[in-house]
């Protein structure tokens, strides 16, 4: 089995930067639990898609073997800095660059010092304990012009490319659920989903993911995306679907909570 585990985790850095807030702390603990499950699946490489790594011209793949630095989130800078030290599987990433044209997408590798790694990737790496020499990454960008179908094709292509190198793959989609946030300052201890409609949609989508009913999930996603302003059209979920060939048996939701009003969940898929 090439894909040995799959997870959806929040891209917001708030659970990492302030885990003393009850809801944020529960999300951080849930991601760490998911990280232990990921490690137990013994992958050779982690295939990551973060909704926060934006691209507009080409599909970008992180081909730099080691990226280090100190990141400050553009929205939540008052909560502190985010150091990172991320190792990538350059050979696997180059295979994804080479394979992208087979699904009609022009691609480039990113390999230079100081490239701005995004908050979602850094948060996932830190809490899941991935991006290490033992668990290197293959990271694909979120091209803003790619729709869900193209995103699924890219993920499927990446799995095939890495499979050709005989490597076991864990798949991680990094992003949130409903997208409405509080525009005024709130006490993080009192954070909750921004409105009841978003909460109902989030819970419906989570139930469908837990059930493993992919056809019903696909039918519900357009309404969810439109009504709840879902994070980047849920392309991080489509990335997982593409990597899994559109099939999974069910899922475990480790936690569902709010991050400044937006929805966030930690999901472990059953393959």
Rounded Cα–Cα distance for residues 109 and 8 (Å): 24
Question: How confident is the model at residue 76, as a pLDDT?
Answer: 87
Question: How confident is the model at residue 134, as a pLDDT?
Answer: 97
- CA-closest candidate to residue 125, choices 32, 236, 241, 33: 32
pLDDT digits (tens, 9 = 90+) for 188-229: 999 999 999 999 999 999 999 999 999 999 999 999 999 999
Region 66-94 average pLDDT: 95
Q: Is 144 exposed, middle or buried (0-12, 13-18, 19+ CB in 10 A)?
A: exposed
Count of beta carbons in the 10 Å neighbourhood of residue 189:
10
Region 51-64 average pLDDT: 97
Region 57-81 average pLDDT: 94
Domain of residue 204, CATH code: 3.40.830.10
**Structural domain boundaries enclosing 214:** 3-270
Do residues 97 and 21 make contact, with C-beta atoms less than 8 angstroms apart?
Answer: no
pLDDT digits (tens, 9 = 90+) for 230-270: 999 999 999 999 999 999 999 999 999 999 999 999 999 99
∠ CA 165-248-242 to the nearest 5 degrees?
A: 50
What percent of the chain is modeled with pLDDT above 70?
100
Question: How confident is the model at residue 164, as a pLDDT?
Answer: 96
pLDDT digits (tens, 9 = 90+) for 8-17: 999 999 999 9
Residue 18's pLDDT band (cuts 50, 70, 90):
very high
Query: How much is the mean pLDDT over the chain?
Result: 97
Give the per-residue SS3 of 52-93.
Answer: EEEECCCEEEECCCEEEEEECCCCCHHHCCEEEEEEECHHHH
Region 68-79 average pLDDT: 92
pLDDT digits (tens, 9 = 90+) for 147-182: 999 999 999 999 999 999 999 999 999 999 999 999
Considering its fold, how many domains does the chain have in total?
1
DSSP 231: G
Rounded Cα–Cα distance for residues 178 and 253 (Å): 16
């Amino acid at each position: 089995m090439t894909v040995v585990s799959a997870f959806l985790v929040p891209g917001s850095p708030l659970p990492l930067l302030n885990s003393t807030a009850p809801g944020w702390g529960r999300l951080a603990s849930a991601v760490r639990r998911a990280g232990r499950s990921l490690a137990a699946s013994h992958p050779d490489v982690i295939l990551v898609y973060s909704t926060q790594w934006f691209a507009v011209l080409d599909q970008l793949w992180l081909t730099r073997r080691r990226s280090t630095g100190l990141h400050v989130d553009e929205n939540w800078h008052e909560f502190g800095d985010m150091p990172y030290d991320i190792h990538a599987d350059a050979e696997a990433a180059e295979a994804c660059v080479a394979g992208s044209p087979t699904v009609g997408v022009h691609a480039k590798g990113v390999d230079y010092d100081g490239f701005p790694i995004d908050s979602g990737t850094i948060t996932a790496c830190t809490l899941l304990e991935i991006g290490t020499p033992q668990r290197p990454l293959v990271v694909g960008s979120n091209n803003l012009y790619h729709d869900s179908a193209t995103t699924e094709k890219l993920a499927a292509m990446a799995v095939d490319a890495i499979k050709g190198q005989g490597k076991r793959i864990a798949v991680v989609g990094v992003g949130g659920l409903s997208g409405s946030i509080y525009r005024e300052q709130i006490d993080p201890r009192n954070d909750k989903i921004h409105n009841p409609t978003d909460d109902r949609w989030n819970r419906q989508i989570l139930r469908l993911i837990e059930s493993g009913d992919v056809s019903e999930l696909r039918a519900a996603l357009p309404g969810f995306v439109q009504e709840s302003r879902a994070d980047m059209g849920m392309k991080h979920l489509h990335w997982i679907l593409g990597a899994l060939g559109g099939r999974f048996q069910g899922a475990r939701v480790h936690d569902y909570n709010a991050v400044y009003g937006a929805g966030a969940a930690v999901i472990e898929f059953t393959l």
